[in-house]
Structure 1
Amino acid sequence: MNISFDGRTVIVTGAAHGFGRAISLAFAARGATVWACDVQEAGLQETARQGGDLVHVRTVDVSNRDAVRAFVQEASGGSRVDVLVNNAGGVLGQVGRPVEEISEDDWHAIFRVNVDGAFYFSQAVAPLMKAANFGRIVNISSGAGLGVSLTGIQAYASAKAAQIGLTRQLAHELGAWGITVNNVAPGFVRSNPTTERQWESYGEEGQRRLVQGIAMKRLGSPDDIAHAVLFFASDFAGWVTGQILSVDGGK
């Protein structure tokens, strides 16, 4: 399968490391003009360095609706965005705690990044995609959104489940304009400082149990997630929408 994105404009959120960087580089390697954003400036600059002239980076807080709209306006030139990848998210440094100890701010902070950000970006690109009668929106959720979070973070599992619901709803709303909306649900991948700390916290025995619980008996990589995104964004997936693809090595 030869997938090309020559002439396409792609927005990737959460692109300073991990999945977002791998996704940005994968699109650029196949000819797309990529607009990548994050709140971590240093990581963004490394993504830009690796991506070359086709990768443009901006510091954007995805929970700020006005900032999102300004970024989409710049990336699109006011006319076109072909692909949106809502990858920004995570646990924001939180750890698993009993439900009665969770503050209102901690609960809402995770929702703002994982759900509100995906909504604001989808809302901003929808008029452009409708005008073009074409578009691809790919949301990056998590196995936690389909089951339970390995970290025990209630807001994270809930936010990722909400993002999956948003995916299905937007697929039905936007399909008449040739816009597909799909979701990639990664399993555990060592892709950033947070997942490295999580991996180390399991110890040798916990790491062994985690890997043995995977059908393929190995962890995946950020490239495995990027490849699933490329499929959903490609012409090969033109009649695929509202779907959640678990990329987890088999459970």
Structure 2
Amino acid sequence: MTAQRFAGQTVIVTGAAHGFGRAIAHAFAWEGANVWACDMNTEGLGETARLAHHDGLTLQTRAVDVGDSTAVAAFVAEAVAGTGRIDVLVNNAGGVRGQVGRPIEDISPADWQAIFAVNVDGAFFFAQAVAPHMKARTSGRIINISSGAGLGISLTGIQAYASAKAAQIGLTRQLAHELGAWGITVNNVAPGFVRSNPTTERQWESYGEEGQKKLLDGIALKRLGTSEDIANAVLFFASEQAGWITGQILSVDGGK
């Protein structure tokens, strides 16, 4: 049996109710980590735990609003109390909060802030909460999950989503320089379009046959990826092999 790369490590994964987050949480659990997974979608989070237990894996799951700094701090404190350490933080929580593309004049301040809260504020609050524990151990890995939208434009047409993902990439680079002196790396995975959750399924269907073909034709490998492709990139950044890599954005998109 292959040695488990993250045996004994404590890993926090946000947005773990489905899609990327579920795949990432399960991948770390398979690799021996003590995984603490959170989401506001308690039904989906329960399914993440059920599937893990079916495979003989153990996950701790909690309902946490990543935009609530007090709730984030409490969750991190509980994980530390339970395991004595935090080795890896994966800021995967994000998305469009049920919004669709609309003209800029139709966007309310609340709509704008809701998307920033989950995509940027959450990443900041979690990094802020784990940093002291990682500094004390002079090691740690923070991996943020952004999007191709943060490097270009959003296929959804949602202004706040493209802006928030770009901001998260900026946060990644800034924290990499701030935390590097303590042996903490901060990197970013920017997925391309993946059919990974109900929102992306609706988006895929909305393109129709012609739009789907156009999307695939624009990908070098001429196919969509999977949530496991994203999880593999995250595990690389969290591994010893990525120990001298920080402040980087890895596009996992089949080639553009």
Same fold (TM over 0.5): yes
SS of 2:102's partner is coil
Give 1:3 shift. 6.2
1:120 to 117, 125, 129: 125
2:26 is the alignment partner of 1:25: yes
Give 1:100 shift. 0.8
Q: 8 Å contact 1:12–1:37 — kept in the other structure? A: yes
Q: Which amino acid aligns with 1:237?
A: A
Structure 1 residues without counterparts, runs of 5 or longer? none
SS of 1:77's partner is helix
Give 2:63's aligned residue: 59
SS of 2:152's partner is coil
Structure 2 residues without counterparts, runs of 5 or longer? none
Q: Residue by residue, what CA displacement relative to the aligned partner does 1:73-100 show, whole Å, maximum 9, x if unpaired?
A: 0111174100000000000000000111
2:79 to 72, 75, 79: 75
Give the RMSD, CA atoms, in angstroms: 1.1
Instruction: Please list every run of at least 4 consecutive aligned residues from structure 1 whose deviation after the TM superposition is greater than 4 angstroms.
Output: none
User: Residues of 2 paired with 1:226 and 1:116: CA distance?
Assistant: 22
SS of 2:235's partner is helix
Q: Which amino acid aligns with 1:19?
A: F
Give 2:115's aligned residue: 110
Q: 8 Å contact 1:3–1:234 — kept in the other structure? A: no
Q: Which amino acid aligns with 1:126?
A: A
2:229 is the alignment partner of 1:224: yes
Q: How many pairs does the alignment contain?
A: 251
2:150 is the alignment partner of 1:150: no
2:137 is the alignment partner of 1:132: yes
Higher mean Cα deviation, 86-95 or 47-56? 47-56
Higher mean Cα deviation, 42-51 or 58-67? 42-51
Q: 8 Å contact 1:10–1:33 — kept in the other structure? A: yes
Q: Which amino acid aligns with 2:140?
A: G
Give 1:181 shift. 0.1
Give 2:250's aligned residue: 245
Give 2:7's aligned residue: 6
5 Å matches for 1:89-238? Answer: 89-238=94-243
User: Residues of 1 paired with 2:162 and 2:25: CA distance?
Assistant: 25
Q: 8 Å contact 1:130–1:179 — kept in the other structure? A: yes
User: Residues of 1 paired with 2:184 and 2:75: CA distance?
Assistant: 21
TM-score, length-normalised on structure 2?
0.96
Give 1:62 shift. 0.3
User: Residues of 1 paired with 2:127 and 2:178: CA distance?
Assistant: 12
User: Residues of 1 paired with 2:81 and 2:232: CA distance?
Assistant: 27
Identity within the alignment, %? 75
Q: Relative to structure 1, is the Cα distance of residues 3 and 148 closer, same or farther in structure 2, using a 3 angstrom cutoff? A: farther
TM-score, length-normalised on structure 1?
0.98
User: Residues of 2 paired with 1:65 and 1:184: CA distance?
Assistant: 23
Give 1:34's aligned residue: 35
User: Residues of 2 paired with 1:11 and 1:131: CA distance?
Assistant: 17
User: Residues of 2 paired with 1:19 and 1:3: CA distance?
Assistant: 21
Q: Which amino acid aligns with 2:202?
A: R
Give 2:92's aligned residue: 87
Q: Which amino acid aligns with 2:96?
A: V
Q: 8 Å contact 2:4–2:32 — kept in the other structure? A: no
Give 1:16's aligned residue: 17
User: Residues of 2 paired with 1:218 and 1:186: CA distance?
Assistant: 14
Give 1:142 shift. 0.2
Q: Relative to structure 1, is the Cα distance of residues 3 and 217 closer, same or farther in structure 2, using a 3 angstrom cutoff? A: farther
Q: 8 Å contact 1:32–1:54 — kept in the other structure? A: no
